[in-house]
Amino acid sequence: MDALRKIEISFPCDVELPNPLYREMFEWLEKVCRHYETTHPGRVMWPFGFGSKIVGGSIYFDGPMQFDDSTLSVECAEREDYDHA
């Protein structure tokens, strides 16, 4: 499979994501980030920003942020590994 930038999953109806499954998903994302680090020495990546998808508004403009509570959004960050020698 070619390199990915985004993974999207849609369900045909509402599903529950109990805490144990939520933690397993987070652990899987951490594994993806660790794999990235092994193939990109000198770089680090980690999942952050778990929550409802932002669909409107901005912290930089007037008006409240708007969220879609039916969609879980996860961001991953990447940067130089400052401790890499």
Q: Are 37 and 45 in contact (CB under 8 A)?
A: yes
pTM: 0.81
Higher-scoring residue by pLDDT: 34, 85: 34
pLDDT in tens, 2-55: 899 999 899 999 999 999 999 999 999 999 999 999 999 999 999 988 888 888
What ranges do the domains of the chain cover? 19-80
DSSP label at 80?
A: E
Q: Are 54 and 69 in contact (CB under 8 A)?
A: no
According to the model, what pLDDT value does residue 63 have?
74
Three-state SS across 36-77? HHHHCCCEEEEEEEEEEEEEECCCCCCCCCEEEEEEEEEEEE
Q: Beta partners for 76?
A: 47
